[in-house]
Structures are given as structure tokens and as C-alpha cells.
Amino acid sequence: MTDTPIFEPDGRAIPYVDEGHGDGPSLVLIAEPGRHAVLASIAHILAGEGFRVLTVGARTGAAEASRDDLVADTVAVMDHVGLRGGWIGGHGTGGTVARVLTAAHPDRALGVLLLGVEDTDAAAAPAIPVLVVQGADDADMPPANGEALRASMPERASVVTIAGGGHLFPVTHPVDTAFAIEDYLAWD
């Protein structure tokens, strides 16, 4: 089991896991508040394939934190572990935070990785690729959300749908999810 350190800038308690330091791509995965463990399996699988994966959880008291606060938390953890940038993504609300982060800090993002898409107006940085991985049976963030996002940026957005996947598809289908990411990034 991977230890979950807590980074405490300015008294904020932010859980994170930094694993895999191979020669593959770097990923920053932002968890939905209260669901840090949802990303653990795919992070571990990708780390085993040579990726560096930084998973950032929500700070204590995240219910009161704004999107901008959560962006600042993620950037603070990235700086703390010495990760300048990479693919920035997340599950659910974490994906929305990733979109806001890439719009605010496009120099830190090679692309956006959304594990499900919230129905929100959050923009991603222009001119960077977007990969949406979604569960075919996700009632919380239905596949239509990912399709609408792709339609709004067809030149740079791709969608992969996990058959049989509900909202927690990164937990129930971790190998399929990790493979979709690895395949898209053409990493072997």
C-alpha cells in the first residue's frame, strides 16, 4: 500500500501520492473531494508502466474551498515535489479543477485528462489536447457531457468510453482506464 503524505502549506492539509519516476510521461491526477482512493489503482498501474503519477487529494475542509483554491493547492503540491508540468487531469470535480488549472497555468500542461466530464462551463487552456475517458453507464457525469466537450473542440479532444463503467469506473475498470491513457499517449 502506498503511503499518503500530507503537504501543509499555510496550514492547508493536502494529501498526495507521488509514484513512479520512470522515463514515461508525467501525470497530475486531481481527486474529487473525499475520493482520493478512486485514482489509486490507475495511478499505480501507470507508475508500473514508467509514468510519474502525482495524485492530489482535496484539502481538509475542501467543501469551503473554491476551484481557484484547489488549483492553488495542486500547484503547491506540484512545486513541493518538483514537478514542473505534465498531463493534468482528474476524476469528476477533480477534472473540472484540472481544466481551470490548465487555463490559469497553460505553461504547466502538456494536455488535459478528464476521467468523466462534469456539466460545467470551466474552460481548458487553448491549443492543448484533451483526452476524455468516461464510463458508458456513468449517471453522475453521463457520456453526453464528454461528447459535448469533444464537439466544442473537435480538433483537439478525443473520447474513449469504458464499456460497463459507471461513475467510479477508475475503480471498477482500472486496467481499461489505464490502458486508454497509455494508448492515447502512445507510451509502451
Q: What is the pLDDT of residues 46-57, one digit of tens each?
A: 999 999 999 999
pLDDT category of residue 62 using cuts at 50, 70 and 90:
low
3-state secondary structure of 152: helix
| Whether pLDDT at 58 is above 70 | yes
* Amino acid sitting at position 83: L
What pLDDT sits at residue 47? 95
Burial 160-179 (b: 16+ CB within 10 A, else e): bbbeebbbbbbbebbebbbb
pLDDT in tens, 135-155: 999 999 999 999 999 999 999
CA distances from 27 to 17, 70, 130, 152 (A): 12, 17, 13, 24
Q: Answer yes or no: CATH 3.40.50.1820 is held by domain 6-184.
A: yes
- Is the pLDDT score of 75 beyond 90? yes
Averaged pLDDT, 119-127: 87
Direct distance between the N- and C-terminal alpha carbons of the chain, in angstroms, rounded to an integer = 25
92, pLDDT greater than 80: yes
Which helix or strand (DSSP H or E) is residue 14 part of? strand 14-19
Q: pLDDT tier at 74 (50, 70, 90 boundaries)?
A: very high
Q: Pull the grid cell for residue 24.
A: 514515461
Residue 35 binned pLDDT confidence (cut-offs 50, 70, 90): confident
- Asked whether residue 96 carries a pLDDT value surpassing 70, the answer given is yes
Judging by DSSP bridges, how do beta strands 86-91 and 52-56 pair with one another? Answer: unpaired
Predicted confidence band of residue 1 (pLDDT cuts 50, 70, 90): very low
